[in-house]
Amino acid sequence: MMARSGNPVLRLGTLIFAALSLLLGASGTGWPQAAPPSLDLQQQGPQAAPPPSTPEPAGDDNPGLIHEMGKLFDKPPAVLPPIKSPSETMKDLSRLVRPSIMVSGRAACPPSSNGAPDCKPAADQLCQSKGYKEGKSLNTDSAEKCSAKVLIPGRQRKPDDCRTDTVVTSALCQN
């Protein structure tokens, strides 16, 4: 007999097992139990006839998960487009994307109407200087430029003494 102050983990495990046994046994819908293996011992009393076996389905149709997934690849649903080969996909992409090249240089971004730099004209200018039609900025660089007045000792800095200049340093150019 085990003392009441036994291992609490063991007691908890026993309680959980008992609760699950009651739940599964009471509901009648537990996991199917396999019959205990026969040890070729003679059993006493009348023996029950084995339950009638259901006929196995034809070997061609196995309703397993792998078989069902295979059906999806044999006949894809109508909502999915057909799967293309990598070469077909690359041909489609090359039709959509124009040939482009990355160039480096420096072109100043003019200020827009709201004061923020507008780098599209600068990217176009950088690409046109390399022989291309238009461009899109990839990298920019900004620097604050100030007049010499800010170097005068004791002079208060005014809002119009410095400005921030932005330049496109690399662009993606297209013909």
pLDDT digits (tens, 9 = 90+) for 97-127: 677 899 999 999 999 999 899 999 999 999 9
* pTM for this prediction: 0.43
pLDDT tens-digit readout, 48-85: 556 666 655 555 555 788 877 777 777 655 666 677 88
pLDDT at 132 over 80: yes
Question: For residue 2, what pLDDT band results from cuts at 50, 70 and 90?
Answer: very low
DSSP string, 122-140: HHHHHHHHTT-SEEEEEEE
**What is the spatial distance between Cα 171 and Cα 168, in angstroms, rounded to a whole number?**
7
Which amino acid, one-letter code, is at 87? S
- Give the span between the Cα atoms of 82 and 91, in whole angstroms: 16
Q: Residue ranges of the domains in the chain?
A: 100-174
CA dist., res. 70 & res. 63, Å (int): 11
| 172 sits in which H/E element | strand 162-174
Cβ atoms of 111 and 166 within 8 Å: the answer is no
- The span from the CA of 100 to the CA of 175, in Å, is 7
Tell which residue, 102, 103, 106, 100, has the closest CA to residue 168.
106
Q: Rounded mean pLDDT of 115-140?
A: 94
Backbone φ and ψ for 130, nearest 5 degrees, come out as -105, 5
